[in-house]
Structure 1
């Protein structure tokens, strides 16, 4: 089984690429954001720990919990935005748990004879998934294309787009760590051809 990490800048079209890859036979795609969300739900591996962490920091539960006991994500985001120390502590707690769950799912995929296991993470390099994966793939789109997509799909202003893009890793870093670059800058039919070619070569 091939274990592939997929990353790319905001607006590069990772979701569309992963949707195409995910429909192939004997392929499994795992999104780390979704895994984190599941782990933070009541009964999830991180739920009680997050509440305990916030209690110890003196954060009013009304700021980050809904009445039904589930996490209020916008509220939690506000708490983390104004407190770097809490954000770093929460990330240090959640990210390793996500990685453990990804590895658990990967082992389960092996048992089910999955041939390709893809994991997508915005912080793929920062979280050292390169040490776990067979190789990393970078979904590429030019700055202009990404900007146009973000304006159309999310209604972001130029200032917000520039702020988000400038906060992410540079292409030099992606080039250093990612063995495969998938060009998703234009016609998606060409992107599909490129994906199929790479997967055929690496069977």
Structure 2
């Protein structure tokens, strides 16, 4: 089983690539964000550590994390964002490593992991190939305004907190260009998968 890491900035289309891969036989897909959301639940170590780090103001009803309160804190402080990442990302990585071991015996040809911080969190060491989903800045902003309801400033704020294209390109094995149509994207992904399996 080969392990593929998919990364890219917010609004680049990582989820579109994952959707394409989900429809292909023999491929298991994982979204790091969904694992993180699961680990935010009451009773999980990550939940407790977030409340310890950021205080009761991020604790919602029933012990859940108030994501809006947490977002307001980390979007206004690079130091707090780093602190959050240091709490969440190591636990997500532990979960994924266990999951890879579990899936190894299941007959999948590819295990595909999607996350924004794959490179920064050291996933290159466990991935056979890293894919960077490239989309130009203005198209990313437009997508974020449509899909998430962000205004231009919010989209740019998120983008500013992420590495630039050069960083991703330098640290990836494959660049998937997502500036065209969905069919063009699908062809690039399909062609690459055929070379791997």
- Tell me, yes or no, whether TM beats 0.5: yes
Q: Which residue of 1 aligns with 2:48?
A: 48
Q: Identify the range of structure 1 (79-88 vs 123-132) with the bigger mean alpha-carbon deviation.
A: 79-88
Within the candidate set 129, 134, 145, 2:128 is matched to 134
Question: Deviation of residue 48 (structure 1)?
Answer: 2.9
Pairwise CA distance, 1:22:
1.4
Greater radius of gyration (CA): 1
Gaps spanning 5+ residues in structure 1: where?
Answer: none
The secondary structure found in structure 2 opposite 1:68 is helix
Alignment of structure 1 residues 26-41 onto 2, 5 Å = 26-41=26-41
CA–CA separation in structure 2 for the residues paired with 1:83 and 1:158: 19
**1:45 to 1:196, Cα distance in 2 relative to 1, 3 A:** same
Cα RMSD, aligned residues only: 2.1
Question: How do 1:109-120 residues align onto structure 2 when only pairs under 5 Å count?
Answer: 109-120=103-114
Residues 131, 151 of structure 1: alpha-carbon distance in 2 compared, 3 angstrom cutoff:
same
Alignment of 1:1-203 (within 5 A): 1-54=1-54, 59=55, 61=56, 63-81=57-75, 87-203=81-197
TM-score, normalised to structure 1, is 0.86
Aligned residues: 197
**TM-score (normalised: structure 2):** 0.88
What are the superposed Cα offsets for residues 106-163 of structure 1, whole Å, 9 maximum, x if unpaired? 1111121221111111111111211221110011122232233223333433433334
Q: Relative to structure 2, which stretch is displaced further, 2-11 or 36-45?
A: 36-45
Residue range with higher mean Cα deviation, 142-151 or 29-38: 142-151
* Inter-partner Cα distance in structure 1 for 2:160 and 2:75: 18
In 2 relative to 1, CA 38–132 (structure 1 residues): closer, same or farther, beyond 3 Å?
A: same
